[in-house]
Chain A
Amino acid sequence: MAEIEDGSLAAGILLPASLEDGDDAGPPLSRQRQIVRRFCAHRLALAGLIVLIALILFAFIGEPLWHYKFNVFTSALAQPPSLAHPFGTNPAGYDLLAEVLQGTQRSLEISFFVAIAAGTVGSIWGAVAGLAGGITDMIMMRIADLVLIFPVLAIAAALANHFARQANSWFFLAVILAGLTWPYVARLVRGVVLALREREFVTAARSYGASGRYLVFRHLLPNAIGTVLVSTTIIVATSILAATALSFLGFGVQPPDVDLGSLVSQNQGAIFAQPWLFYFPGIFIVLIALSANFIGDGLRDAFDTTQSGARS
């Protein structure tokens, strides 16, 4: 029951995955190499990693290099994809490839910020709560529950409507989303910590007077790292879907800035006449989320066996 309480986001993660079979020929490898091997054996995860890295390069290196910019007019109006404009142009004359480059940059910035922020805050919160136990644990987890009680989109929209209206709205949007996502990670990490807490190495460490902080950072977190990494990666996927949904509704990234969600929103009418304007941004959202999900799945497989055979 404890595992299930940690949220179904975790349900797919925490429960043991199917084990890949048949690669134990040869001498026992170190734990890290084992993890990497397992990850590479997961083909989709590897593909996902390649795609995600490609997307990051595409967005952050491609955008400055591409000779059109997302906010500078070209003389081609509403052109379908061609050699000069690989993604076509929109009626106002903006090059769609430039817009998608900029939008991908934005969306990646937002989702990585949310993932790292929520992952960090959530991990520390969960670890502290799990270690402390008792009243502290209860209060800390009730606070986490508090944040989760209302649907994320509603709270995020209401806050973003007011606070994320100015320039650099993407940053405030990312902060808001991170503030609503960390409890998922906290719950997960707390669960792992609770399980690990009773292990021998913790008792041993305590017996020679190790402080709480030492335990958390030196022993527990490294063992929980698998869970943390997996949930952080999954959050990249969920946060890009959440952020683009908010932008689609008009509460997220504000013009003149663009992200993939606002591109879909402003181009949804074009689906009849200039479908490339609608499809490309959406496909990129799917690519980012899909590769993050595959990587997360691969990480889950890679880290899973080491959880049951714990060594500090």
Chain B
Amino acid sequence: MMRHCARVLPITLIGALSLILAACAGGSGSTSGASGGSSSGQVTGNLDTVNSANVTGMGTLTYVIERNIVDWNPLGSDTLVETQYIANAFDPSTFTTGPGTAQVTMNSTLLRSAKVISTNPQVVVYQINPKAVWSNGSPITAADFIYTWKTSDPSICPDCDYTTSAGYDQVTSVKGSDNGRTVTVTFSKPFADWQGMFSPILPAYIAKQNGDNGTTAGLTKSFNTGFRYTNSFPNWSGGPFIMTSWVNDQAATLVPNPKWYGPAVHLKRLVFQVITDPTDEITALQNGEVQVINPQPQVDMLQSIESMTGVHYQTELGLQLESLEFNLNNPALDNAALRRAMYTAVDVSQMVARTEKQIDPSVAPLHNMLFVPGQPYYTDNIGSLGSGNVAAAKKMLTGAGYKIVGGKLIEPGGKPLPSLVMRYTEGNAVQETECEVFQQAVKALGVTVQVESTNNLGATLTHQAGEDYDVIALAWFATPFTAADFYQLYVPKGGLDFGNYNDPEVTKLFNQALQTINPTASAALLNRAGTLMASDSYTMPLYQMPSLLAYSSKYGNVRDNPTYFGSTYNVGSWGLK
């Protein structure tokens, strides 16, 4: 009976094998990787001027955003960076940051000047360009500044859902004069990072249409609901473009603002399209269906972008940082020596090599708690954290009374250390690798770490049951206003102190820095705080996340801006070369 079977040749097997081999050969043929050719490849140079060009004509351009817009209010609490990217086209800011990491530039189309005219009390005077008007023709005046201040000041509008009140809560008055073209802002206490305020401003006349009637309830309604635009979109403008349509989860279309008071624009249509999948962004760019993408860089992306023709790209290290943070609510993590040992055992250069170094070879581990290389006050103050020195880590532990018995870490009290839960944001492959490197590093210390993803970062950060963490991989978009920025994370009342970190000395230093106008003195205070924080080992900075901007080489003035404002900070000057 089996004779029949024995005669059978598994032709299918051979067929399948040849299929595999053909697929392999066919696939790798796509990586020609020719980096020659003047119209392709990486663009480097001075961040502020790279790809400067005289642009002409009226082109059209589609820019990809990776997430849907749920809140159109750039100052709202659940607003994503994407809202600001689009807002750059129609909502004026007094100062913009970037592209260099230390760069803060005054918006010279909106303002004639912005100066601190006295320091005790601190008074800032803005001179608005007399030509500056909103799209309904009415001038941009102090009224807009007043509305912006009131809705971000918790003492005036406690129910307003703002992102940050930094600075606004120290404003005693905002007065307009000279037909509202001069704005005088008085502070109760000095606030060093005043340039970060009023960026952007909100139009008071629209606020009135949305319910602002002078009362607190009116302020709240217009800010929380009105500017959120759940079922419509902002169809006003004080910038070079104005929005004419928005299809939820699909695209926003903008055209030149007829009332624009600055230099002429060279795009007759600007579309922001939502593409949530990074691979689809690449395909769309390759197929010419979009012209600019600014994706969260993934390792395999770079080679595909390099092999495209007619596409330029920049990778820059900016102010997007990756770090690890402990949750000090867990009593097992109460011991600074334990935390310091764990951070010391991790080799951050390994993390970098397995992830971002393959995108941008210049990515390197950070050695300062608060500053990044490129900022003038960057100095090495984290000691052995992140060095991967397991022997030193073990010494720290034994010195603090811990023991490693049979591959498990025993606390000074005699009990074994419970296993720790480490979380990263679901879908973020880079963070996943960070967690896995950490997990394998601390294994040598006898610590067991369970790595899990969270699809609800907010729930994790607020310690909801079932989503809580002991260690977390966190991405943070910093601003050049270092003191105000990190104050939120490391001071108990800062608002974003997720892990319940509380070092009174550090808090004191941050508060002092916030009030110190002299940047060198302020930075010195911050670096002292940084040294203390390194010893506390609550958080460990990992590295700067490179940003990746890829765009069709036909367009000029498109350049990467690895800060909160994004590459659309100068969208009014984009056009065909």
When the two chains form their complex, are residues A275 and B27 in contact, meaning their CB atoms are under 8 A apart?
yes
> Nearest Cβ in chain B — how far from A74, in angstroms?
10
Q: Does B23 contact A (CB under 8 A)?
A: yes
Q: Does B355 contact A (CB under 8 A)?
A: yes
Q: Could you say which of A47, A48, A73, A254 contacts B437, with CB atoms under 8 Å apart?
A: A73
Give complex CA distance A266, B10 in Å.
33
**B289-307 Cβ-contact flags toward A at 8 Å (1 or 0):** 0000000001111111001
Give complex CA distance A204, B453 in Å.
62
Give the residues in chain A near B20, CB-CB below 8 Å: 279, 283
Give complex CA distance A275, B9 in Å.
31
**B43-77 Cβ-contact flags toward A at 8 Å (1 or 0):** 00000000000000000000000000000000000
* 22 A-B pairs (CB sep. < 8 Å): A37-B4, A40-B1, A40-B4, A46-B10, A50-B10, A73-B354, A81-B24, A91-B299, A256-B432, A269-B278, A269-B298, A269-B300, A269-B301, A272-B30, A272-B282, A273-B302, A273-B303, A273-B304, A276-B27, A279-B24, A283-B20, A283-B23
Q: Could you say which of B1, B12, B353 contacts A47, with CB atoms under 8 Å apart?
A: B12
Give the size range of A's interface with the partner.
35 or more
Do A276 and B300 form a contact, CB below 8 Å, given A47-B10, A269-B279, A283-B19? no
Give the residues in chain B near A93, CB-CB below 8 Å: 354
**B237-259 Cβ-contact flags toward A at 8 Å (1 or 0):** 00000000000000000000000
Give the residues in chain A near B429, CB-CB below 8 Å: 92, 266
> Nearest Cβ in chain B — how far from A115, in angstroms?
22
Give the residues in chain B near A71, CB-CB below 8 Å: 436
**B428-451 Cβ-contact flags toward A at 8 Å (1 or 0):** 010011001100100000000001
List which A163-203 residues lie within 8 A (CB) of chain B: none
Output the nearest chain A residue to B351 by Cβ-Cβ distance.
A92
Q: Does A270 contact B (CB under 8 A)?
A: yes
Number of CB contacts from chain A to chain B under 8 A: 115
Q: Does B11 contact A (CB under 8 A)?
A: yes
When the two chains form their complex, are residues B12 and A274 in contact, meaning their CB atoms are under 8 A apart?
no
Q: Does B427 contact A (CB under 8 A)?
A: yes
> Nearest Cβ in chain A — how far from B504, in angstroms?
39
> Is the contact region of chain A dominated by helix, strand, or loop, or is it mixed?
helix
Give the residues in chain A near B299, CB-CB below 8 Å: 78, 91
Q: Does A310 contact B (CB under 8 A)?
A: no
Give complex CA distance A168, B384 in Å.
37
When the two chains form their complex, are residues A33 and B453 in contact, meaning their CB atoms are under 8 A apart?
no
- How many chain B residues touch A (CB < 8 A): the figure is 46
Give the residues in chain B near A256, CB-CB below 8 Å: 432, 436, 451-452
Q: Does B8 contact A (CB under 8 A)?
A: yes
- Among A92, A254, A274, residue most surrounded by chain B Cβ atoms (within 10 Å): A92
Output the nearest chain A residue to B30 by Cβ-Cβ distance.
A272
Q: Does A210 contact B (CB under 8 A)?
A: no
When the two chains form their complex, are residues A279 and B354 in contact, meaning their CB atoms are under 8 A apart?
no
> Nearest Cβ in chain A — how far from B543, in angstroms?
15
When the two chains form their complex, are residues B8 and A40 in contact, meaning their CB atoms are under 8 A apart?
yes
When the two chains form their complex, are residues B440 and A250 in contact, meaning their CB atoms are under 8 A apart?
no
Give the residues in chain B near A81, CB-CB below 8 Å: 24
Give complex CA distance A236, B281 in Å.
35
Q: Does A271 contact B (CB under 8 A)?
A: yes
List which B1-52 residues lie within 8 A (CB) of chain A: 1-2, 4-5, 8-13, 16, 19-20, 23-24, 27-28, 30-31
When the two chains form their complex, are residues A40 and B436 in contact, meaning their CB atoms are under 8 A apart?
no
> Is the contact region of chain B dominated by helix, strand, or loop, or is it mixed?
helix
> Nearest Cβ in chain A — how far from B87, in angstroms?
29
Q: Could you say which of A41, A78, A255, A267 contacts B453, with CB atoms under 8 Å apart?
A: A255
- Among A78, A93, A273, residue most surrounded by chain B Cβ atoms (within 10 Å): A273
Q: Does A2 contact B (CB under 8 A)?
A: no
When the two chains form their complex, are residues B303 and A272 in contact, meaning their CB atoms are under 8 A apart?
yes
Give the residues in chain B near A271, CB-CB below 8 Å: 27, 279
When the two chains form their complex, are residues B28 and A91 in contact, meaning their CB atoms are under 8 A apart?
no
Do A91 and B358 form a contact, CB below 8 Å, given A37-B1, A250-B426? yes
Give complex CA distance A49, B350 in Å.
44
- 7 smallest beta-carbon distances between A and B, as pairs: A275-B27, A272-B304, A273-B303, A91-B299, A40-B5, A47-B12, A270-B300
- Among B9, B24, B452, residue most surrounded by chain A Cβ atoms (within 10 Å): B24
Q: Does A158 contact B (CB under 8 A)?
A: no
Q: Does A43 contact B (CB under 8 A)?
A: yes
**A36-79 Cβ-contact flags toward B at 8 Å (1 or 0):** 11001101101110110000000000000000000111000110
Give the residues in chain B near A306, CB-CB below 8 Å: none
Give complex CA distance A93, B354 in Å.
6
Give the residues in chain B near A78, CB-CB below 8 Å: 299, 358
List which A256-312 residues lie within 8 A (CB) of chain B: 256, 266-279, 283, 287, 294
When the two chains form their complex, are residues B31 and A272 in contact, meaning their CB atoms are under 8 A apart?
yes
Q: Does A7 contact B (CB under 8 A)?
A: no
When the two chains form their complex, are residues A46 and B300 in contact, meaning their CB atoms are under 8 A apart?
no
Output the nearest chain B residue to A283 by Cβ-Cβ distance.
B20
